[in-house]
Amino acid sequence: MNPYLSIVLTRVKMLLQYRVAALAGISTQLFWGLIRVMIFGAFYEKSGNQTLTFSECVIYIWLGQAIFAMFPWYPDHEIQAMVRSGNIAYELSRPIDLYWFWFFRAFATRAAPTLLRSFPIFLIAGLFFGLKIPSDFSHLLGWLIATLGGLALSASISAILSISVLFTLNGDGVTKLFPAVAYIFSGMIVPLPLFPESWQLFLKALPFSAFLDAPFKIYIGKVSNDEFLSILAHQAAWVLFFVFTGKFLLNRAVRRITVQGG
């Protein structure tokens, strides 16, 4: 089997074992979604006339909860532990490209819990809490494709977070701040359309709109075919950017490790 495919499959298998964690995660996400829906409902009560309608806002919230586990929350814990204990040299001794090894590991780490958690959240939120399923199947498919792109973006950012640990040892700085920035500018806290108008262009250009905001627009069918392609191009451009930056940084780090002996 292709080594990278094998990495993804073993990690998915491993992560699927944490079923209790998944159950806890699902209930957490439902709880948070409910709080959010109530908060936004109260805000909308007085001035409902917005670019984003309330029922769209509810869909936004639930889609966000469904893909919550997909976010590049932290670097790979195993890599962090290896750097700390000095065992990182073993990673270098594998006969495959280290960058792609870490990339696919991150991909699997994000994909497995998302897969496991998003279906029940979809089901429950769809049945009881106002998450509408698009009537046009192509919108759902488009959303799925764009979310997959978001997953790739998440993996490329996670890989950079892991690589940054090689430079800072404990990785306290970048690895904590970057996810926070990603969190708010993805629309997870407040949907991006509700941010001030003057910010919109900037928010759209940032890579983080590719996680939730862009796929959401496809989901509710507000996107033409051309716009759909430009969303995918935006995602691809950022993924490429992070992949090349990651490869560059990793090469430098590896050179330093092999020269200084870790």
Partner 1 sequence: MKDLRLYFRLVSVSIKSQMEYRASFLMTSFGNFLLTGIDFVGVWVLFSRFGKLKDWSLPEAAILYGIINMGFALSEAVFRGFDTFDRMVKSGDFDRVLLRPRNTVIQILGQELQMMRIGRFSQGLAVILWGGLKLKIFFSIPCLALLLFAILGSAALFSGLFVLQATLSFWTIDSLEIVNTVTYGGVETAQFPLSIYNRWFRGFFTFVIPLACINYFPAHAILGKKDVLGYPEFFGWVSPFFGFAFLWFCFKIWEFGVRNYKSTGS
Partner 2 sequence: MAIGIEVDGIEKTFFVAEKETGVLGAIRGLFNRRYRRLKALDSLSFSIQSGEMIGFIGPNGAGKSTTIKILSGILLPDKGKCEVLGITPWENRISHVSRIGVVFGQRTQLWWDLPVIESFELLRDIYRVPNERYRQNLDELSQMLDLTSIFNIPVRQLSLGQRMRCDLTAALLHSPSILFLDEPTIGLDAPSKLAVRGFLSRLNKTLGTTIIITTHDLDDIESLCKRVLVINSGRLLFDGCLEDLRKSFFRERRLKIDFDECNSDFHVLDLKIVSREGNRIIFSFDPESISAPVLIQKIAEKHNIRDIFVENPPIEEVISRLYHDSNK
Residues of this chain that bind partner 1 (CB under 8 A): 20-21, 24-25, 27-28, 31-32, 34-35, 38-39, 41-47, 50, 170, 172-173, 176-177, 180, 183-184, 189-190, 194-196
* Exposure string for 67-78, b = 16+ CB within 10 A, e = fewer: bbbbbbbbbbee
For partner 1, give the closer residue by CB, 31 or 202: 31
Expressed in angstroms, the distance from the first to the final Cα of the chain is 32
Nearer to partner 2, 115 or 232 (CB): 115
85 contributes a contact to partner 2 by CB under 8 A: no
Tokens for 197? Answer: 């108008």
User: Residue 145 and residue 124: Cα distance in Å, rounded?
Assistant: 22
CA 193 to CA 200: how far, in whole Å?
Answer: 7
Stretch that binds partner 2, among 3-11, 16-24, 50-58, 150-158 (CB under 8 A): 16-24
Q: What is the DSSP letter of 133?
A: P
42 binds partner 2 (CB under 8 A): no
Least Cβ distance, residue 248 to partner 2 (angstroms):
35
Of the candidate residues 1, 2, 20, 93, the single one contacting partner 2 (CB under 8 A): 20
Minimum distance from residue 19 beta carbon to partner 2 (Å): 5
Q: Pick from 229, 186, 66: which is nearest to 133 by CA?
A: 66
Nearest CA to 27 out of 128, 129, 120, 112 is that of: 120
Write down the least CB distance from residue 5 to partner 1, Å: 30
Q: Choose between 19 and 222: whose C-beta lies nearer to partner 2.
A: 19
Closest CA to 29 of 145, 112, 122, 110: 122
Binding-site size, partner 2 (CB under 8 A):
3
Say which entry of partner 1, partner 2, none residue 97 contacts (CB below 5 to 8 A, set by partner kind): none
183 binds, among partner 1, partner 2, none (CB under 5 to 8 A by kind): partner 1
The option from partner 1, partner 2, none interacting with 240 (CB < 5 to 8 A, set by class) reads: none
For residues 242 and 223, what is the distance between their CA atoms, to the nearest angstrom? Answer: 26
- List Cβ neighbours of 248 (8 Å cut-off, separation of 6 or more): none
| Residue ranges in contact with partner 2 by CB under 8 A | 19-20, 23
